[in-house]
Structure 1
């Protein structure tokens, strides 16, 4: 059976700096109609950055929606029309102060497909060397952490690392 929902109407509810929220009226596979609230997000890029073969660079930052400081991969939002790989290269340097000799695409994930269309593209960076000191955005406060991969896996298992893009990246290697 085809479970595809056909969009009959879309109404913008909110237009923000990063996201838009739209109310979709959809026709269900059984012919009935329903409403879907959809968050439109431009997507992002996350980088699994190896300091050496056993050590990865993670960033610590406060995440307002869940009121917690999270440990996660360096990552950032795609700008309109920006090349995905170039976004990753830019974000790596902005958040960590490093550039990479090797930058390899690992895959992509959808962060919350029940209500959001965001894709996160995951890259692996190796052969790190110093670029400009991590500049970040003016409203970003970040601590850079170098953590052994075995420790990261342990932190994922015991719930210290709960960020989905970070957990997903470790499934891709």
Structure 2
């Protein structure tokens, strides 16, 4: 058992109490008790972006002394890291581990394609770029995943797929990364929605309409907004659409 330094009573409270992570009830519905923790095999693709072994303080400003899994299901797991800061005081980090996902920007000179679906944690329907991950296919390549997610959610096939970059969606509490792709030379096809996506709506927006969605604060998905910023700053914008096209936000 980890014995953090510092005042004994404070250390005991930090380590032994049933800690309620900020925002966790919205993710899993309720706070799991240690006796009710679900243990499931961890998919090979769920490789954390940091080692679970004890690490030196370095740039972190603290040392990880112990780790436990607080909750786990087929899509995510919540890890608690007990730490000791540089001044010797104990602390606790709650980390949500989820597999990386692909986000695709399907766009041409006439407009962009978005999808809308109900997002249960925030209790609302929102427009966003097609995106997703495959927990049951840990060996899938990033480009293959992007092509498949685009096809499944919109029916579109991309003649060209360019990687724009990687972003972290919420690195204050989660290790999940997003690979951003630009899809061009598009051709229509049949959607292949999963059972979880049966409420998903696909629609094409003109660039003027897309600009209105951005300026009006309609787009709430942080990954979609960050992905569009990557495209606006990328030379791929000019190469794909020509200098005659002026994009919202550019």
Specify if TM > 0.5. yes
Query: 1:2 is paired with a residue of what secondary structure?
Result: helix
Q: CA deviation at 1:4?
A: 4.1
Query: 1:53 is paired with a residue of what secondary structure?
Result: coil
Query: 1:25 is paired with a residue of what secondary structure?
Result: strand
Correspondence 1:125 to 2:176 = no
Structure label with greater radius of gyration: 2
Correspondence 1:55 to 2:111 = yes
TM-score scaled by structure 2?
0.65
Correspondence 1:10 to 2:64 = no
Tell me, which stretches of 5 or more residues in structure 2 are unaligned?
1-57, 232-250
- Pairwise CA RMSD: 1.5
TM-score scaled by structure 1?
0.92
- Going by fraction, where is strand more abundant, 1 or 2? 1
Q: CA deviation at 1:17?
A: 1.5
Q: CA deviation at 1:114?
A: 1.2
Query: 1:87 is paired with a residue of what secondary structure?
Result: helix
Highest RCO, 1 vs 2 (Cα 8 Å, sep ≥ 6): 1
Moved more, 142-151 or 99-108: 142-151
- Going by fraction, where is helix more abundant, 1 or 2? 2
Deviation readout 1:70-117 (Å, 9 max, x if unpaired):
100001014423211111011000111111010000011111111111
Tell me, which stretches of 5 or more residues in structure 1 are unaligned?
none
Aligned residues: 171
Give the whole-Å Cα distance in 1 for the aligned partners of 2:105 and 2:196: 23
| Alignment-derived partner of residue 79 in structure 2 | 22
Give the whole-Å Cα distance in 2 for the aligned partners of 1:166 and 1:151: 16
Query: 2:64 is paired with a residue of what secondary structure?
Result: strand
Moved more, 153-162 or 14-23: 153-162
Give the whole-Å Cα distance in 2 for the aligned partners of 1:108 and 1:45: 9
| Alignment-derived partner of residue 213 in structure 2 | 155
1:32–1:121 Cα change, 3 Å: same
Indicate conservation of the 8 Å contact 1:45/1:78, yes or no: no
| Alignment-derived partner of residue 45 in structure 2 | none
Correspondence 1:167 to 2:225 = yes
Give the whole-Å Cα distance in 2 for the aligned partners of 1:29 and 1:81: 39
